Structure 1
Amino acid sequence: MGSYRLGILEGDGIGPEIVPAAARVVDAALAAAGAEPVDWVPLPVGASAIQEHGAALPESTVDALGGLDAWLLGPHDNAAYPEPHRSTLNPSGALRKRFDLFANIRPAKAFPGARALEAGTDLVIVRENTQGFYADRSTFAGSGEFMPTPDVAIAHAIFTRHGVERIAHEAFRLARRRRGRVTVVHKANVLRLTSGMFLDVCREVAARYPDVTVDDEHIDAMTVHLLRRAPEFDVIVTENMFGDILSDLTAEIAGSLGLAPSVNVSGTHGMAQATHGSAPDIAGQGVANPAAMMLSAGMLLDWLAARHDDEALGRAAALIESGVAGALREGVATPDLGGSAGTEAFAEAVEGAITGG
């Protein structure tokens, strides 16, 4: 298929450590799979971009991303940005909104050696990424939050049939590639119009996938079910805020946020992004866990492989996951997982597992 052009945006905190480690593993996997090497395109984002370009997400970066096949985004620490940058939509949210990255796919898989709370966990949260209760992403203009008086704050939530239909289709198509089960998570018993519509439309879409089993759970009950029996779930589809919260829970059940990958995708654009934050307390120490960023990059390759029918790229994606699993199985782990390996040592172990070295 030729070479792909992928953006590489290191971000803040541990980003400049884990993003290059992920790119290194991508290069090794592509070579081992017999795929063409990618053309990496570094682009500014985050605190360093504020210093050099006057914006955490420069318009030049956004314009460049529009011409690339996909990109890797490191974590951001927008809480530490100076005003007015701190009060604006963070780089991740701005990119999701700008490129209509409506599907946030967040797996939670218990790898041997990763100290999972529930061995056997292997599920995926399919999170609607542009609507729901995150008001700053659900409107064309404005934040969706306002204060009519100093003592009253109001936020609105938006649900559209189109938005729910397309995330439901993502979930059911994914379930067909996995174990064939979708669980719709909602709060339709209380939020009858908004969450109720989410549930109703998901059920309508389910009728087009008779080979997939579908059930539903209230969001509060789902937290309990996940703690007690996470391995029973396959694909979970839900709205924006519920998906954000549940994916942090499932990541810890599977072992650690340090192992929690994700991709944000539309029909035309894809962004790999680890679920965890920028961890400024350990930035620059060489001990950050790059596994989630590596796994996110692998997911992005898998998305590109499906989009372009590129078998070599698909093999590379599988090699990245097996490489991370192999390193953990051999007892190579960063301190957050109870090990002593640094970022560089873990990257070397994953690369060795991929190449057989």
Structure 2
Amino acid sequence: MSGAHLLVLEGDGIGPEIVAGTRTVLDTCDATFGLGLSFETAEIGFAAHRSVGTTIPDPVIAAARGADGVILGPVSHNEYPPVAEGGLNPSGVLRKALDLYANIRPALTPEGLGGSARAVDLVTVRENTEGFYADRNMFEGPGEFRPDPDLALAIRKISRRACRRIAEAAFALAEARPARHVTAVHKANVLRISDGLFLEECRAVAEAHPAIAYDEVLIDAMAAHLVRDAGRYDVIVTTNMYGDILSDLAAELSGSLGLAGSLNAGEEHAMAQAQHGSAPDIAGQGRANPVSLIASAAMLLDWLAQRGTLPAGAEAAAAIRAGIVAAIAEPGTRTPDLGGTGTTTALAQAVAGYVADTAPRTGG
């Protein structure tokens, strides 16, 4: 019998609310498609720090390694105490511990959304394990330091191995998309050595995929091009920090950061994670948009299906995506970030209701 064991980590701020909404949708998918899902929950973030003195306990990391997939709610890591006092970023720790080197971030304008949304249908493929991120680029210790009170330095790590595998992930994704186009984003005119190495590997992978169109754009120009005409791009591959910024821009152009799914994937593990932060200013008010994490969970189901762990996962993921489109087409169901009056719970229930009412049932 197929099935998958998922580790669920609520996180901070709006995390518990949008995780609850995501569980509502996943439970409905489980019942509708006979997925055989099982769930384990564990504390991270402020709750874990209060209990055991660290925001990401070692048993949670072990549980993540043993699970078929992880669902991670947003975390307030900017507000955590210093690392020496247990204030680790759970997202960064899990990305390193599970070698989740590819952060896949689609931006797709839903039908019927209206408003200021642009016609966007692209995916940012972001390298996830190095770059300028201080918690990810050193074997021991942080990647930034302060020799004296008036000087701060940061180290950027770019390795050939990481560049090659993120480029390969981007081209593999482009193979399955109609436009079959990869754009490498860089700043090699200034960072000649590090971004130069990134481009070397992208070009090598492009040569191995002659049927896929390939071009290169500077990061500053890319930001302008996305605002002007995001519809001209298909798959964007780039390094960690550039990808973080560009994917948020693309998501907002497509309608709202609250719609932006995100999957952290490696060879053996994957973690669904909302693209946005923990928004503590609206926590507990029922205003948070749960779609980003729901869409991320759908990506996790797809990943499990591709690996053969969850054969019906792709069908369930498609039903979730259709349910999202149907739910946000109704102004009364949309959350405030989409110009609506709906609540977190109501929007999640609307997506789940669509899945239950319209998806084919096992044995039907």
| Short-chain TM bin | over 0.9
Q: 1:58 corresponds to which residue?
A: 57
- How large is the RMSD of aligned CA atoms in angstroms? 1.6
1:343 to partner: Cα distance: 1.0
How many residues matched?
356
1:203-222 to 2 correspondence within 5 Å?
203-222=203-222
- 8 Å contact kept, 2:100–2:129: yes
- 8 Å contact kept, 1:125–1:237: yes
Give the structure-1-normalised TM-score.
0.96
- 8 Å contact kept, 2:24–2:349: no
CA distance in 2, matches of 1:8, 1:72: 5
What amino acid is the match of 1:151? D
1:267-346 to 2 correspondence within 5 Å?
267-308=267-308, 310-331=310-331, 332-346=333-347
What amino acid is the match of 1:185? V
What amino acid is the match of 1:165? R
What amino acid is the match of 1:321? R
What amino acid is the match of 1:341? G
Give the structure-2-normalised TM-score.
0.94
Gap runs ≥5 in structure 2: 359-364
Matched, 1:347 2:351: no
1:219 to partner: Cα distance: 0.2
SS, match of residue 123 in structure 1: strand
What amino acid is the match of 1:152? L
1:69-218 to 2 correspondence within 5 Å?
69-83=68-82, 88-115=87-114, 117-178=116-177, 179-218=179-218
1:296 to partner: Cα distance: 0.4
Gap runs ≥5 in structure 1: none
CA distance in 1, matches of 2:280, 2:271: 22
Q: Percent identity?
A: 50
Using a 3 Å threshold, how does the CA distance of structure 1 residues 87 and 30 change in structure 2: closer, same or farther? closer
Using a 3 Å threshold, how does the CA distance of structure 1 residues 86 and 229 change in structure 2: closer, same or farther? farther
1:355 to partner: Cα distance: 1.8
Using a 3 Å threshold, how does the CA distance of structure 1 residues 164 and 38 change in structure 2: closer, same or farther? same
- 8 Å contact kept, 2:184–2:202: yes
What amino acid is the match of 2:184? V
1:86 to partner: Cα distance: 7.5
1:309 to partner: Cα distance: 6.5
Q: 1:227 corresponds to which residue?
A: 227
CA distance in 1, matches of 2:40, 2:322: 26
1:330 to partner: Cα distance: 3.1
1:73 to partner: Cα distance: 0.2
Q: 1:41 corresponds to which residue?
A: 40
- 8 Å contact kept, 1:96–1:129: yes
SS, match of residue 210 in structure 2: coil
1:85 to partner: Cα distance: 6.6
1:328 to partner: Cα distance: 1.2
What amino acid is the match of 1:343? T
- 8 Å contact kept, 2:54–2:88: no
1:51-94: CA deviation from partner (whole Å, max 9, x where unpaired): 11211001111111111101100001123334557884411111
